[in-house]
Amino acid sequence: MKYFEYKGYLGSCKVSIEDKCLHGKIEFINDLVNYEAQTTEELNEEFELAVDDYLMHCQEVGKSPDKTFKVQLTLESVASFTKSRKYGKKPKRLHQRHR
């Protein structure tokens, strides 16, 4: 799945056939932040506004905003991990990239 990206946050894009609109949320954070629009361009703009509003709200209430994260695994990492587990070896550390 591809995501909108803005200020280190990722946003989804889904279709509501019943409501004939697009909607999404800021992904990979504990707080729930939704947005909706009629076109993908408008949805991207609404996502960016939602991120800005979320950050401003957190600042106003004195809360640290959740940070989104993104894990990237390469096939080599997965193969190394699987092979090492199969033969009882200690696996190589898989790195996580936090955003």
Which pLDDT does position 99 carry in this prediction? 47
DSSP for 80-95 reads HHHHHHHTTPPPPPPP
Radius of gyration of the chain (CA): 18
* Spans of all domains in the chain: 4-67, 68-99
Looking at 1.20.1070, 3.30.160, 1.10.287, 1.10.3470, the CATH number of the domain 4-67 comes to 3.30.160
Predicted model pTM: 0.69
For 26-84, what is each residue's pLDDT tens digit?
999 999 999 999 999 999 999 999 999 999 999 999 999 998 765 555 555 555 555 65
Cα–Cα distance, 20 to 15 (Å, whole number) = 8
Which pLDDT does position 68 carry in this prediction? 77
Which pLDDT does position 31 carry in this prediction? 96
For 20-29, what is each residue's pLDDT tens digit?
999 999 999 9
